Structure 1
Amino acid sequence: MPETASLIAFAAIALGMVLTPGPNMIYLVSRSLSQGPRAGLISLGGVALGFVVYMLCAAFGITALVLAVPYAYDAIRFAGAAYLLWLAWQAIRPGGRSPFHVRALPRDGPRKLFAMGFFTNLLNPKVAVFYLSLLPQFIDPAAGNVLAQLLLLGTIQICISVSVNAMIALSAGSISTFLANNPGWVAVQRWLMGTVLAGLAVKMATEAQR
């Protein structure tokens, strides 16, 4: 199994990415603001299922790649670092907006809410890159079964993402009101996230080859 320090670093990246506004957050917040927290949580169920699908596909596909081509790890590592830098720029770039300032959506039933959450996540490029570029960098073939490591890391990411998004869905209205009255906090959040993601990208790019 991966070392504790590696698991903590992975959890930090997973937390940083879920706090970076993207399609999932924007959709869940929109649903919570338009239709209430219950609708946001039902949509989150679909998002969670999308994560499970990505995790299983990545686990079985990447396992074969890492074992067959050891140096593929370096290519994946640099691609992941580049993507983190891109996310950092997206967080601090001029003109960026808060996901809590979104348009209203029509009211939908539970089945459609769940399905929309599922497909929003499946079509989310941030999730795809996370599982294909970032997650494999924390795999060490010498530490044990590669498939088991991937499933463990995927489970950690899903737990973090679902927990954070659930809290956001439940408190979207309060957060939206707070940010509307305190616009300076939006800039603070964006710069904090950008700094954390950029730091993780540098660490990842300069990490010694395994």
Structure 2
Amino acid sequence: MDTGPLISFLAVDLLLVCVPGADWAFVIAAGVRGRSVPRAVAGLVAGYALHTALAVAGLAVLVASSPALLTVLTVAGAAYLVWLGWSVLRRPAVPVEAGETGETGETGEAGETAAGTEGPDFWRGAAISGLNPKGLLLYLSVLPQFLVTRGDHAPVAAQTAVLGALHMAACAAVYLAVGTLARRLLSARPRAARAVTRTSGAAMLGIGALLLAQHAL
């Protein structure tokens, strides 16, 4: 595969990945709560790996050609974002190092330790990216524009796999940086950590609600 399309795709992809959204909110919350940021990022990447596998198998084309199926997937992703955003707003996180729990004074999402939440964080991350409407947009609308279908080039499936791998690498690099910075900058600032977490939760809830409203009209 020529380097030109790869570089062009990577430039566009990095712009999309660097736009704050549900993925950012998730890794920021993981960093603030003292959970395993690499485990949370691995979950997000696993969700995009599923997207890549489906695209390579040609199922992305099937979804794109079926408005009803695409709507179902988008609504499911939006509903999950609303639920997750509301959960974060109800129990905003504070740094584990601060020795505090969430506002409710209960254990649970805000007061759990890293050891008890690594597994759920992986699967939650996979669900977020797997159902993320922005991810669906990337694989159904953006990625196909960089596939070369004329001349002597690699098969479309192989090109799709390469571009999907680039996207996963970009996500891993950006989200690891975001989660690590959130932990370092907010670990000694419980109030700021709670405010950032609330903002992240509100962003997830708002994005999900907007998508649900669009499909309800």
Pairwise mapping of residues 14-93 of structure 1 onto structure 2 (< 5 A)?
Answer: 14-36=13-35, 39-61=36-58
User: In the alignment, which of 112, 129, 146 is matched to residue 137 of structure 2?
Assistant: 129
**Alpha-carbon distance in structure 2 between the residues aligned to 1:17 and 1:53:** 19
**1:33-77, Cα deviation, whole Å (9 max, x unpaired):** 1224xx222111111111110001012216877xxxxxx9xxxxx
**Which residue does the alignment assign to 2:125?**
117
**Shift of residue 155, structure 1, vs aligned partner:** 0.6
**In structure 2, what residue type is equivalent to 1:8?**
I
**Displaced runs of 4+ in structure 1, greater than 3 A?**
62-65, 173-177
**Alpha-carbon distance in structure 2 between the residues aligned to 1:126 and 1:119:** 13
User: In the alignment, which of 152, 165, 172 is matched to residue 175 of structure 2?
Assistant: 165
**Alpha-carbon distance in structure 2 between the residues aligned to 1:130 and 1:64:** 13
CA 1:175–1:9 in 2, change beyond 3 Å: closer, same or farther?
farther
**Contact between 2:60 and 2:139, CA under 8 Å: does it hold in 1?**
no
| Secondary structure of the corresponding residue to residue 141 of structure 1 | coil
**In structure 2, what residue type is equivalent to 1:17?**
L
**Contact between 1:47 and 1:121, CA under 8 Å: does it hold in 2?**
yes
**Which residue does the alignment assign to 1:191?**
none
Q: How many residues align?
A: 140
CA 1:103–1:156 in 2, change beyond 3 Å: closer, same or farther?
same
**1:152-195, Cα deviation, whole Å (9 max, x unpaired):** 11111111111111121112134559xx7xxxxxxxxxxxxxxx
User: In the alignment, which of 99, 103, 127 is matched to residue 92 of structure 2?
Assistant: 103
**In structure 1, what residue type is equivalent to 2:145?**
Q
**Alpha-carbon distance in structure 2 between the residues aligned to 1:54 and 1:63:** 8
Q: TM-score, normalised by structure 1?
A: 0.60
CA 1:63–1:46 in 2, change beyond 3 Å: closer, same or farther?
closer
CA 1:126–1:169 in 2, change beyond 3 Å: closer, same or farther?
same
**Alpha-carbon distance in structure 1 between the residues aligned to 2:126 and 2:117:** 14
**Contact between 1:14 and 1:161, CA under 8 Å: does it hold in 2?**
no
What runs of 5+ residues in structure 2 fail to find an aligned partner? 66-90, 94-108, 193-217
**In structure 1, what residue type is equivalent to 2:168?**
I
**In structure 2, what residue type is equivalent to 1:14?**
D
**Shift of residue 109, structure 1, vs aligned partner:** 1.8
| Secondary structure of the corresponding residue to residue 92 of structure 2 | coil
User: In the alignment, which of 154, 157, 162 is matched to residue 152 of structure 1?
Assistant: 162
**In structure 1, what residue type is equivalent to 2:92?**
R
